[in-house]
């Protein structure tokens, strides 16, 4: 039976943390099924618009068992790359439950996406549209249900973005599609990575709808992803209910029904993941505690891309005082900090720490940086725990090398 913690910053009991590390080893990614299910339900219920489809952004976490949970709750998948789509198929999603919204596929990859059965594609440029149309003409499979959309790039919506087609290019895009008997039916909006400001989404709804009306065959609006998650728990969080109410109200006023697609990633999965690690070294520099642990920043998202802050918790009972603390990884990389200037109790070797909110861009962006194999992944569900990805060993470092 999983023993929950009564402390708001501790995801489960110290006893369970010890049991998990004793059984599976350290460091260890731990995912909580109930937490993920709650996040899925919250986002699903926040948008009252009837014709809404939710697609999980697989780029944030590609573990098959977690993808199956999305499938069981009626969500589809958003694929940013062919690899995202491949994982979705392995998790049991059919191609028609997967939406592709990516960039810069080569001809072989574009054909493969179609062979896999993906039938909704939001394209990033006129040249990608032209490539799709060329493949369409010689494709041997059934493409009768194919839907094409354009990823929008408009300076009044997002500044300095490389992604998307500008509205003045729509007429050319329509002509390209018409040459092979296709239509441009969708519009895809991508706000950017990890935006917590609800207004950044709601204030552009009218402009997006106006742009969508430039498409004579407009059938769906993919409002994309980029929805943020408050890694600093005391800071502003994205308001899903406000967003859902405003977007639904605007779409319900349209003269024709428009299908709505929403692609949450980190917003739905970040808080279900914890990275457990053990303290292996303690030293002091004046009044600052320097803790060394048996994991590395290579097992978290790239700080320059997806933020460097993650809440760190410990399981000390009634700590007398908190110390200014740096938590350092097990490499000599000068930026291998899992936390800087944290307020933590005095720790000792073999104490356990938990790095919270690593469900998104944790394992997905982990690497073999400085040749450390990656940790295992475990799922907590229905009062028990089970392994959902094996721990790597050093063999992984040479598996694809050609050795004489």
All domains of the chain in start order, with CATH: 14-31+270-397 (2.40.37.10), 94-263 (3.20.20.10)
Is the full-model pTM beyond 0.85?
yes
**Please, what is the average pLDDT of the chain?**
93
Task: Judge whether residue 294 has pLDDT over 50.
Answer: yes
pLDDT of 1: 44
Q: Of 145, 262, 167, which Cα lies nearest the Cα of 212?
A: 167
The alpha carbon torsion through 352, 357, 359, 360 (nearest 10 deg) reads -140
Percentage of the chain with pLDDT > 90? 82
Q: pLDDT tens, 185-210?
A: 999 998 877 788 999 999 999 999 99
pLDDT of 4: 45
Question: In a 10 Å sphere around its CB, with 0-12 CB exposed, 13-18 middle and 19+ buried, how is residue 177 labelled?
Answer: buried
Q: pLDDT tens, 223-276?
A: 988 899 999 888 889 999 999 999 999 999 999 999 999 999 999 999 999 999
DSSP string, 79-121: ESSHHHHHHHHHTT--GGGEEEE-S---HHHHHHHHHTT--EE
pLDDT bucket at 2, cuts 50 / 70 / 90: very low
Q: How far apart are CA 152 and CA 344, in angstroms?
A: 45
Q: pLDDT tens, 18-33?
A: 999 999 999 999 999 9
Task: Judge whether residue 299 has pLDDT over 60.
Answer: yes
pLDDT bucket at 303, cuts 50 / 70 / 90: low
pLDDT of 271: 96
Mean pLDDT calculated for residue range 348-372: 94
């Amino acid at each position: 039976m999983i023993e929950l913690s009564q402390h708001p910053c501790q995801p489960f009991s110290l006893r369970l943390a010890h049991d998990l590390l004793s059984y599976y080893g350290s460091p260890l990614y731990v995912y909580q099924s109930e937490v993920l299910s709650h996040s899925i339900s919250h986002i699903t219920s926040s948008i009252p618009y009837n014709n809404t489809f939710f697609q999980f952004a697989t780029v944030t976490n590609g573990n098959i068992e977690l993808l199956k949970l999305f499938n069981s709750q009626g969500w589809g998948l958003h694929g940013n790359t062919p690899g995202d789509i491949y994982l979705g198929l392995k998790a049991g999603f059919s191609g028609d439950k997967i939406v592709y919204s990516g960039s810069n596929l080569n001809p072989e990859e574009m054909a493969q996406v179609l062979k896999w059965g993906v039938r909704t594609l939001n394209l990033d440029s006129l040249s990608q549209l032209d490539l799709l149309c060329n493949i369409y003409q010689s494709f041997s499979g059934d493409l009768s249900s194919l839907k094409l959309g354009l990823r929008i790039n408009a300076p009044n919506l997002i500044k300095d973005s490389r992604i998307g087609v500008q509205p003045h290019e729509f007429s050319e895009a329509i002509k390209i599609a018409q040459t092979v008997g296709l239509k441009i039916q969708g519009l895809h909006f991508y706000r950017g990575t990890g935006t917590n400001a609800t207004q950044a989404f709601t204030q552009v709804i009218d402009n997006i709808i106006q742009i969508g009306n430039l498409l004579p065959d407009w059938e769906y609006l993919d409002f994309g992803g980029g929805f943020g998650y408050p890694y600093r728990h005391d800071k502003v969080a994205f308001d899903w209910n406000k967003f859902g109410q405003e977007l639904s109200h605007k779409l319900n006023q349209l003269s024709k029904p428009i299908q709505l697609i929403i692609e949450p990633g980190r917003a739905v999965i970040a808080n279900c993941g914890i990275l457990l690690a053990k303290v292996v070294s303690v030293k002091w520099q004046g009044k600052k505690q320097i803790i060394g642990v048996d994991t590395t920043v290579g097992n978290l998202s790239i700080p320059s891309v997806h933020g460097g802050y993650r809440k760190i918790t410990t399981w000390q009972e009634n700590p007398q005082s908190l110390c200014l603390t740096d938590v350092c990884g097990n490499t000599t990389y000068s930026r291998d900090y899992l936390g800087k200037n944290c307020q933590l109790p005095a720790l000792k070797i073999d104490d356990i720490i938990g790095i919270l909110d690593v469900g998104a861009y944790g394992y997905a962006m982990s690497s073999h940086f400085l040749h450390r194999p990656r940790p295992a992944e475990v799922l907590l569900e229905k009062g028990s725990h089970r392994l959902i990805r094996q721990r790597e060993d050093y063999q992984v470092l040479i598996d694809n090398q050609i050795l004489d």
